[in-house]
Amino acid sequence: MRVASCHRRRAEAGDRDTNQGDDPTTDQSTMARPVTIKNEQLLKAAREEFLKHGIRATSAGIARRAGVSPGILFHRFGSKEALFVAAMDVGEAPRALFEQFDLKARVGKEPVRETLTKLGEMLLKRFQETVPSQLMAWANPDPSQVKPLAELHRGRGVQGERLLVAYLKEEMSRKRIRTVDPFVVVQAFGGALWFFAFEQATGANLRKTNRPVSGSDFVRQLVDTLWKGLQP
């Protein structure tokens, strides 16, 4: 009984914890949700708050959005800074996405043009999810928090690029596409997709028309352009 009582007091104390600088007067409604809430739900709430308020977002505001007490956030993540890093790391790693897409199984079978189109649509969807968080991370004035995120995204990007380079080399060896520098193709392909997502996230419009191209149309036009240099 004494041990159970001790654990109960620790849990109750954790729910009352607040981040230094946050408003300790938390609405009672934030206490209603059970502590079994998944980390993904907490990270989603944190991401929404950071994207709305920037690094000035408070743990009290994040907790309110998630429907929990600030104590739960700090029990799970330790600090607002650690929560920020975790929240800004969204989407699956490119390597995992490429493995799901299974480029190796498509070598010598599916038309390369079709493969690039399908892959482009998948990558663009991922970039549309991650670019806003990347921009938020880069805007964070604390270099100690930006560096690990930048290194994470850079490392993941290189992994995905290498897998696509390997796929293109295999197709070149089979004479299904022209022999070119695969790294240039991959960087042009991935860079264009990322910048399209960046335009959407920032509201930039480099086109003179007010009718923005859809994501699928952009991917198709991008692959059509690259194919002029790849077709055997």
pLDDT tens digits in sequence order for the chain, 232 residues long: 343 344 334 333 333 333 333 443 344 444 444 457 888 889 888 888 877 777 678 889 999 999 998 888 888 888 887 787 777 665 555 556 667 788 889 999 999 999 999 999 999 988 887 777 677 666 665 555 555 555 655 556 677 888 899 999 999 999 999 999 999 999 999 999 989 988 877 766 666 666 667 899 999 999 999 999 999 9
My answer on whether 101 and 70 are in the same domain is no
Please indicate, yes or no, whether residues 28 and 122 belong to a single structural domain of this protein: no
Contacts of 40 by beta carbon, 8 Å cutoff, 6+ apart: none
In angstroms, the first-to-last Cα distance of the chain is 77
Domain match, 58 and 103 both: no
Residues 83 and 99 in one domain: no
Q: Domain containing 113: what range? A: 94-230
Residues 52 and 104 occupy one common structural domain: no
Residues 82 and 99 reside in one and the same domain: no
Considering its fold, how many domains does the chain have in total? 2
Q: Which of 37, 63, 88 is the last residue of a domain?
A: 88
d(CA 204, CA 192): 14
From 26, 54, 88, the end of a domain falls on 88
Q: What is the pTM of this model?
A: 0.62
Are 98 and 196 part of one and the same domain?
yes
Closest CA to 161 of 136, 130, 140, 183: 183
Q: Are residues 138 and 103 in the same domain?
A: yes
Query: Do both 104 and 198 map to the same domain?
Result: yes
CATH number at residue 221: 1.10.357
Q: Are 107 and 221 part of one and the same domain?
A: yes
CB 158 within 8 A of CB 93: no
Nearest CA to 129 out of 188, 44, 31, 216 is that of: 44
The pair of structure tokens assigned to 181 is 């520098």
Q: In whole angstroms, how large is the CA radius of gyration of the chain?
A: 23
* Boundary-marking domain end, from 88, 111, 144: 88
Contact 186, 164 (CB under 8 A): yes
How far, in Å, are 5, 13, 218 from residue 192 at the CA level?
Answer: 58, 50, 9
**Residues 55 and 109 grouped into a single domain:** no
- CATH number, domain containing residue 83: 1.10.10.60
